[in-house]
Structure 1
Amino acid sequence: MNQFTITGNTSSPFITWFMEGLKDKFSAEGYEYCQEPVDNIRVVFNILDKEKPRPFRRKAQATFVISVIERHLDKQEIQSNNNFEAAYPYLIRSLSNHLIYILHNQSQTYIYFVTPEQGFYKLEYEPEETESFFQKVYERLEPVASSQLVINNNFNENLHESLWNGNRLTEKMYLSGKKLDDMNLLPAPFPLENYLTSRDMRQLKKLYGIGGLSYGNLSSREDEKNFWMSASGVNKANMRNIGQDILYITGFNEGSNAMEISVPPNITPKRASVDAIEHWMIYKEHPDVGAIVHIHAWMDGIKATEVNYPCGTIQLAEAVSDLVRNADYPSRAVIGLKNHGLTITGHDLDDIFERIEGKVVQQVPMV
């Protein structure tokens, strides 16, 4: 049975009511409430002080932390305030997997949900619809909270010497990364260092497997079993170094729940993109797929995943793989990731860019 707990101080009548409602709903759905967090607890609701938002210190990578913060604004402030820009730093400062950002004005309460992938969507609280309200909150949170991360890496210093400086495919990836930048499809990474201490940065890398929120990635198949992929947190517009900017992915180790990566000797490798498990699944099933691009953008008329699973989870990888499998042409599919972006397959990187140029829009719909 999955277990959950609530930490932090309920500083207002609404937060007290809201957290009791979440506690009752998760308990009714089969979760076990713990007065104090156990080592392998599955879900933690962490109530934040907006003046001093403190992270919950996980003891297990699988613990999913949902931070909760409350603010009061008048109606004019809510309409003029950039709620996403105000909310997102709280997600980062609290080292959370998800943020519930509660805004009140004189007549209405809005519940915003914020994700590290910049998902940002809301529910309006109607006092006469309490039961359906908590059902909607649960349906938003539980699928993502119960998903399984695959962000560990096994680095092996066994990359063949002929590939230490890359090849024609890595050169094409370098050029494609610059093209993404030219198309304005590489949003500026969030300035983590402005919000986190060095201790919190180390915790972030350990828990999420990232060194910076640099959005988008691309990969190219080398042969039947192996592919090249952009590393996590690197400048996608200037990928040159093998083992650091571009990695050679050789498989997925189910026993250690980790991606297998070959690197040159005597370097400090960067971590693989958290989407490596998704790319691996697609390449494994579809021999005709020669390249994959993931961007935080959108296209009209596409099929999308039903749940906005977090990046780097088995569930997201499986959901995208299912849609690729059922596409008319799996080797040339455009798949939407709900509240997130696109995954695009192609015979090669040129094929992908020829098909998307002039058709993508930067604003991802939030539903």
Structure 2
Amino acid sequence: MKNFTVTGVKPSAFLEEFADGLKQTFTERGYNFEENTDNEIRVVFNLIDPEKPRPFRRKAQATFVISILEVDSINDNTFEKAYPYLIRSLANHLIYILHKGDTTELYFISPEQGFYRMEYSNGQDFYNHVYNRLEPIASAQLVIDNDFMEDLGDALWEGNEITYKLRDSGKKLDEMDLLPAPFPLDKYLSQRDMRQLKKLYGIGGLSYGNLSSRHDHKDFWMSASGIDKSNMQKIGQDILYIKGYNPTKNTMEISIPPKVTPKRASVDAIEHWMIYREHPNVGAIVHVHAWMEDIEATEVNYPCGTLQLAEAVADLVKKAPDPSRAVIGLKNHGLTITGRDLDDIFDRIDGKIIRQVPMI
């Protein structure tokens, strides 16, 4: 399904020109333009009003929504001003268009805090550049659905030495204070929109990372989505037993104790699964929204929870001098760090973390 549409508020003269450029470029690259937004659509450009940024109501989880907002005011902190519009419009991406006198700047913003700038120019090279930025992430395959099975052995219902260590390491992660943005989601979204956000993205709250530890040659334990990492207690809710990935159903398979209402797995579970499967010497993985100097990074800022991001990270782990002790950058996002165990990871990154992720 390679189709797209443009919807939302009535465009200004500039936005009409910008939308026409997008239409022409996406059409030339093999996408079909859809007038009827009731159809299932892959990519949606949603023009929003700064006073009432209305979401586009998706018909399918795979629909990738790019909100577009045009403003004239200049702010000291463009990211802080723009990011709430991404959240309030329930978008996968935001193009924040800022007119500054004789120039116009475009800021591209993702939920993971990707934030990079382009200067507008009315030419095909510019629109090709926009397409090359957006299309790979818009066409990526999300793996965020969970298949919960009440088949966890009773010896593990209260956890084991691995989950105890995971709890201790969760406290270390919390102490790093890497919460990515000062915007509580429920400050900007209604309860209905919060439910929609969780359904679409598997997001339980603004996350400051996740961590996992191998159980055996094929399974692993992992922190759940949107939880307080400093207080991980209940098996099946705070800490999940990941059994594998089902490519037919496109779901992560998770074992839980009976009569437990589970929380969703972190959207990065597919990435962790892929690394553990390919590298038997990897005993633990930590993901943080921060950076380190002199590291290899992915070329494309694929969204969290996509098969393409998992494959890109796993490929860089494979190319590392020691895959069991790799530090991989996720472009415009953060780090995935492998280790022999969790202590090994935290010892290696101690004092080396840079809080600000570079945006390119």
Same-fold call, TM cutoff 0.5: yes
Contact preservation (8 Å) 1:42, 1:62: yes
Q: Determine the structure 2 residue equivalent to 1:182.
A: 175
Question: Structure 1, residues 217-240: CA drift from partner, whole Å, max 9, x if none?
Answer: 000000011100010010112111
CA 140–293 in structure 1, closer or farther in 2 if over 3 Å, else same: same
2:39, 2:193 → 1: CA distance? 19
Which runs of 5 or more structure 2 residues have no equivalent in the other structure? none
Q: Deviations over 1:107-154 (max 9, x none)?
A: 211100010001111101135xx2211111111100000000000000
Match of 1:106? Answer: 101
Match of 1:123 in 2: 118
1:204-243 superposed matches below 5 A: 204-243=197-236
Deviation for aligned residue 1:192: 1.3
Give 1:124-273 correspondences, 5 Å limit.
124-127=119-122, 130-187=123-180, 190-273=183-266
Tell me if 1:24 matches 2:24. Answer: yes
Q: C-alpha distance in 2, partners of 1:15/1:187? A: 31
Q: 1:92 aligns with which of 87, 90, 99?
A: 87
In the alignment, the residues of structure 2 paired with residue 286 and residue 11 of structure 1 have an alpha-carbon distance, to the nearest angstrom, of 51
- The TM-score normalised by the length of structure 2 is 0.98
Residue 291 of structure 1 contacts residue 345 of structure 1 at CA under 8 Å; is this kept in 2?
yes
1:39 aligns with 2:32: no
Retained in 2: the 8 A contact 1:308–1:337? yes
Q: What is the total number of aligned residue pairs between the two structures?
A: 360
- The separation in 1 between residues aligned to 2:358 and 2:319, in whole angstroms, is 23
Larger mean Cα displacement after TM superposition, 168-177 or 343-352: 168-177
The one-letter amino acid paired with 1:15 is L
Q: Does 1:344 align with 2:330?
A: no
| Deviations 1:225-277, CA, capped at 9 Å, x for gaps | 11000100101121111111110000111111000001111111000000000
SS of corresponding position for 1:237: helix
Identity of aligned residues (%): 68
Aligned mates of 2:179, 2:80 — CA distance in 1? 18
Q: How does 1:54-73 map to 2 (within 5 A)?
A: 54-73=54-73
Alignment-derived partner of residue 322 in structure 2: 329
C-alpha spacing 1:28/1:187, structure 2 compared with 1 (3 Å): closer
Secondary structure at 1:311 match in 2: coil
Unaligned runs of 5+ in 1: none
The one-letter code sitting in structure 2 at the alignment partner of 1:363 is Q
Counterparts of residues 73-92 of structure 1 (less than 5 Å): 73=73, 77-78=74-75, 81-92=76-87
Check the 8 A contact 2:180/2:206 in 1, yes or no. no
* Structure 1 CA distance for aligned equivalents of residues 179 and 193 of structure 2: 25
Deviation digits for residues 250-309 of structure 1, max 9, x if unmatched? 011111100000111111100000000000000001000000000011111111000000
Task: Find the residue that maps to 2:231 and give its secondary structure.
Answer: coil
Write the letter of the residue equivalent to 2:98.
Answer: L
- Secondary structure of the residue aligned to 2:296 is coil
Shift, 1:189, TM fit: 7.0
Distance in 2 between residues matched to 1:343 and 1:39, nearest whole Å: 37
Q: Which amino acid aligns with 1:321?
A: A
